[in-house]
Amino acid sequence: MQEKIKKFASADEEMRWLEETLEYNSKLYYELDAPIMQDEEYDALFRRLVDLEKEHPDLASPNSPTQRVGGKVSEKFEKVRHQVPMDSFGDIFSEEEIYDFVNKIKTEYPEADFIVERKFDGLSVSLEYENGLFKRGLTRGDGVEGEDVTENIRTIKSVPLKLNRETDLLVRGEVYMPRRVFAKLNEKREENGEKTFANPRNAAAGSLRQLDSKLCAARGLEIFIFNLQSALEIPERHSDSLEILEDLGFTVSPGGILCNTAEEVVNAVRSIGEMRPNLPYDTDGAVIKVDRLSIREQLGSTSSTPRWAVAYKYPAEIAETELTHIEIQVGRTGVLTPRAVLNPVRLAGSTVSYATLHNIDFIRERDIRIGDTVRLRKAGDIIPEIISVVAEKRKDGSVPFEMPTHCPSCGEPVVRPEGEAAVRCFNPDCPNQLSRSIIHFVSRGAMNIDNLGESVIEQFIENGLIKSAADLYYLKKEDISALDRLGEKSAQNIIDAIEKSKEAGLEKLLCGLGIRHIGEKAAQTLAAKFGDIRAIMNATVEELCVVDDIGTESAQSVVSFFGGEHVKMLIDRLIDAGVSVESKEKPLGNALEGKTVVVTGTLPTLKRAEAEALIRAHGGNALGSVSKKTDFVLCGTDAGSKLTKAQNLGIKIINEEEFLEIINSQKGD
């Protein structure tokens, strides 16, 4: 072994040699399945590099193979604007649509050819390299902005930390979890009594968004690179760019099929479809792309999808199995939802044991009974649903299913309100409602309290630490650390996160309270108009209906919610704990009073959320769609259908400069 380690002139020289040797052998092992070094030998070199980095921290490289084990913990992921927007592909579902897509392009560009690639079922990311070194990794996010998950990306062994050539470039890829890794992960979680992941895509997404990169490193994620976003030199064809990327050290999208005619494209799509069940990873379609980049540029894009590519989605796979039982789940708003318990069956890449039955009307329409053989598919390749009963296999003596008359969680009578499909439990102290309402309260769109997962909340409830969301703000560190699997450090992290959430603002609090018909958008509108929760609590239905986007049903829901004595006590306890009940969007003026504004496209300096916040802060109403009631459209570059509709309706269109002049005009008054 020692013979392999040469004599080096300096620690720096030895460390660089170790990095290159380890990275090369890692690629042989993990990507090419052709190792030439024994595990013990690799481990010895790895330990040597770790020791040198400890002795000479100033010489340690951020792209060292030792960084792949993770260990850095983030408080949250910073949002970063993409250098190149990460558009999604338009979906098609039939071979006829394939012919239409290809022939339309061939009519305009007879010289066009196409490449058909596998569509991986994972999480899309962009990777940035500078001078050949990995610099940053972002999730797709909304296509305009993504989350900075650089430290987690570093842990993926198929991501080259150093390219084979010094160059600047930006690539796009798909992070995925191999099926064998997914199976082992779920098996381990089941053994530990943890909730299993629904499918490899969910597991990959959850792993990449772990705040502790060491947890991400343990999940065995992989990546395929499928597009060159930008580079110092761009080849003429996409297929050429994949070869260049492979030469640089990337694991590129495999099995691309070059085609010239629509018939060849259809055959390629069929070929990929036939191999899907035998691939070691999940795919949910095939992507058809124009190969020549100059033609792509001429075809351009719509506001959200390129015109030079489409994603063909394969027909949903259907399976048959027996429905053995119907269990009732109680949601955070008291809705009783029936769920089918099934004999486990393999469907579209995962084992399915449950399927939602929505409500009693859904069950009656399909005449679904316990003991029936049912036909299943996955809606959008994700959510299992029952599409029909196999009537000829129905057992003798089966009877129609009826919803329970009492809540299975608390035993109180349940009610089906007039005009609703849902059966509800109205007991505010119902245990199941408490659990789910607090899970919603701490969620990202609401109070955004980190480190409070479902299992932790269940522990708090089971041990009598919380009986309402307000109790979270009265928790003590010593009570938390005394619970199973929660030590001093975890307890302090939870306390810190709860304390931080006190300043989330009225918008987040209203959303977290889980008022029926009041989502994030309506919560923002109410907070901007009333400014304080006490004003909303005292508002009448008529006063609430004056607010844009708040209809009679939503207004009545708000009044009913805040009319309950237990809710008034909850709000009082939140206020006593120091939770902010005032809007963070302080009124800045009334220049847009009564005006309805729609934001579209990319603005020069303002993000869309910032522009909408300014609209509300100046008395306006920020909506997401254009109608005759729209007063004007704030428009940036790459605007799409909203701009077209505004032009057709004759609605005034302004740019960012004009918008800022309007809201700043009062300052001189």
**Tokens at 161, concatenated:** 């930390």
- Residue type (1 letter), 76: K
Q: Which residues are catalytic?
A: 119
Angle formed at CA 388 by CA 383 and CA 390, multiple of 5 degrees: 130
Residues near 248 by Cβ (< 8 Å), separated by ≥ 6?
A: 160, 163, 164, 165, 167, 169
Q: Using the structure block, give the residue that is written with the tokens 């041990």.
A: 463
Please give the torsion angle defined by the CA atoms of residues 352, 356, 362 and 368, in that order, rounded to the nearest 10 degrees.
Answer: 40
CA–CA gap between residue 235 and residue 238 (Å, rounded): 7
Question: Smallest Cα–Cα separation from 250: which of 151, 164, 313, 337?
Answer: 164
**Tokens at 203, concatenated:** 């597991």
Distances, alpha carbon 448 to alpha carbons 356, 476, 502, 548, 575, in Å: 27, 19, 10, 26, 18
The 3-state DSSP class for residue 132 equals: coil
DSSP state of 162: B
CA–CA gap between residue 521 and residue 598 (Å, rounded): 14
Residues near 217 by Cβ (< 8 Å), separated by ≥ 6?
A: 68, 69, 70, 152, 155
Task: Summarize the chain as % helix, strand, coil (round to 5).
Answer: 40, 20, 40
CA count, 13 A, side-chain hemisphere, 244: 20
Question: Smallest Cα–Cα separation from 585: which of 555, 613, 615, 551?
Answer: 613
CA count, 13 A, side-chain hemisphere, 645: 15
- Residue type (1 letter), 499: E
**Tokens at 288, concatenated:** 């058809």
The 3-state DSSP class for residue 380 equals: coil
**Tokens at 515, concatenated:** 């008022």
Q: Do 429 and 410 meet the contact criterion of CB atoms below 8 Å apart?
A: yes
DSSP state of 598: E
CA distance from start to end of the chain: 81
Question: Smallest Cα–Cα separation from 223: which of 154, 289, 163, 310?
Answer: 154
**Tokens at 92, concatenated:** 């098609």
Q: Which segments of 348-430 does DSSP mark as H helices, in order?
A: 360-366
Q: Do 386 and 374 meet the contact criterion of CB atoms below 8 Å apart?
A: yes
Q: Which segments of 531-607 does DSSP mark as H helices, in order?
A: 533-537, 541-545, 552-563, 565-576
CA–CA gap between residue 157 and residue 69 (Å, rounded): 10
Supply φ then ψ for residue 363, to 5 degrees: -65, -40
CA–CA gap between residue 587 and residue 620 (Å, rounded): 10
Q: Do 338 and 278 meet the contact criterion of CB atoms below 8 Å apart?
A: no
